[in-house]
């Protein structure tokens, strides 16, 4: 029983780190999107909306993908904290790795080594 306590702490830490990585990435992405909209002049010239979308479609697609990965990281972190599904928690850890840098690396490692904490 005492041997499982450190693993439980690692899983909790991994879940929290995945959530932090997901939230920070989502907020950063939303901030960049707002700044991008302001820099392109969309607010000042709303008539040019489609021209701006066509010109900046890679940026828009990248923001959508990053937001999706951020949401999966958050969901995976919550699932890790609830200890309901190791597969979804691991998926969240992988997504946090993709969007969260060092936090994501730690989250993935902590979740991966805590497999025995799930039913």
CA distance 117 to 12: 10
Locate the domains of the chain by residue range: 17-113
Q: Say whether pLDDT at 3 is over 60.
A: no
pLDDT tens column, 15-71: 999 999 999 999 887 777 666 665 555 555 555 666 766 777 787 788 889 999 999
d(C-alpha 49, C-alpha 8), whole Å: 50
Q: Summarize the chain as % helix, strand, coil (round to 5).
A: 85, 0, 15
- What digits encode the pLDDT tens for the residues 76-87? 999 999 999 999
Chain center to CA of 27: 10
């Amino acid at each position: 029983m005492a041997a499982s306590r450190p693993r439980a702490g690692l899983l909790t830490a991994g879940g929290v780190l995945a959530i932090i990585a997901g939230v920070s990435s989502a907020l950063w992405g939303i901030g960049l999107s707002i700044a991008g909209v302001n820099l392109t002049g969309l607010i000042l010239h709303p008539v040019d909306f489609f021209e701006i979308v066509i010109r900046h479609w890679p940026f828009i697609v990248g923001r959508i993908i990053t937001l999706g990965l951020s949401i999966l990281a958050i969901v995976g972190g919550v699932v890790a904290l609830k200890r309901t599904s190791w597969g979804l928690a691991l998926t969240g850890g992988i997504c946090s790795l993709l969007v969260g840098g060092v936090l994501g690396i730690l989250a993935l490692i902590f979740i991966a080594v805590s497999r025995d904490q799930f039913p």
